[in-house]
Amino acid sequence: MEVILKQDVAHLGFANDIVTVKNGYANNYLIPEGLAIMANPTNRKILAENLRQRAFKEDKIRMEAEALAAKLEGIVLKIGAKASATGKIFGSVNSIQIAEAIKTQNDLDIDRRKIVVDGENVKELGTYKAKINLHKEVKVVIDFEVVAE
């Protein structure tokens, strides 16, 4: 029996895959648990339409991420921090400060959860790199400089 998976099922397939399973497995487990539906012609047409619409939406999101990546390319942020005479800063610079610096210096709104700072912690004055994951296929590396206030 062919079924369309509604969710990822371990050792069977991923969501929206059409898989062939034994009748008992489909009728007694997959369909009653809401993990799959029967792959009749109507459900296949619905699946094809949903996949087509999802591909269009994902393409639009990816294009927007690429446009934002083009704006972010090559910028250098300056982040001020209170520092001692030896160059150590009090606290550390994290993704929240980087997101705020992007907002104030370039008027671009980036979610702080998408920013990954290279290395562990930024605790000294200097130049560092941060990676921004705008989309699963679009990533940008920006430079930021930590300066004393």
Statement: residue 47 has pLDDT above 90: yes
Mean pLDDT of the chain: 92
What pLDDT, on the 0 to 100 scale, is given for residue 118?
Answer: 77
Residue-range domains of the chain with CATH? 2-65 (3.40.5.10), 69-148 (3.10.430.100)
What pLDDT, on the 0 to 100 scale, is given for residue 65?
Answer: 92
CB 133 within 8 A of CB 98: no
Full-model pTM? 0.67
Query: Which of 8-12, 19-23, 105-109: highest mean pLDDT?
Result: 19-23
